[in-house]
Amino acid sequence: MHFISPTRGKLETEEMCDDIGKFVSQHPRDRFRLIIGTDSQPGKATCFVTAIIVHREGKGARFYYRRTYDKTPFTLRHRIFEEASRSLEMAGHIIQYLSSMLPEMTIEIHVDIGEKGRTRDLIQQVVQMINLSGFAARVKPFSYGATKVADRFTK
């Protein structure tokens, strides 16, 4: 599976994880959060973009993204759960690579749902699904990994 880095270009999963590890190790006194968020855009095929952001708290971030397409017709509810599932799946892949390098890193899953709009009825279920998987869930307006970064690359 490959990812795109605006600064490094196309990277395989292992290369991306090595890049994350190097970035974190260059700043040993700083705090980091690993943020994973997925957004989608319906069309002839639904475009899903998963973003992986390494947030160096108070000092910026580095990010990577992966774009895939699915021809399955999705309802809004199904699409939101698919986005959350893709983020959780990505978190599982990344943990395999990073657990030995970065055992203390906080991982957050950002979802494109919020109190306003048609997705408000899904908040409790989606957040519970993520929390039961062992990750912290963030919703709008705090879910910039999905609502800003991933969303930017779905269009």
Domain that holds residue 24: 2-152
Q: pTM for the full model?
A: 0.93
pLDDT confidence of 106, banded at 50, 70, 90? Answer: confident
**Domains in the chain: how many in total?**
1
- Give the tens place of pLDDT for each residue, 23-78: 988 988 888 999 999 999 999 999 999 999 999 989 989 999 999 999 988 999 99
Whether the pLDDT of residue 100 is over 90: the answer is: no
Distance CA 150, CA 43 (A): 17
* pLDDT value of position 103: 67
Contact 154, 40 (CB under 8 A): yes
pLDDT, averaged across the chain:
92
Nearest to 116 by CA among 146, 139, 85, 145: 139
* pLDDT value of position 19: 94
Nearest to 97 by CA among 9, 13, 5, 2: 13
Q: Which positions ≥6 away from 60 have C-beta within 8 Å? A: none
The one-letter amino acid at 130: I
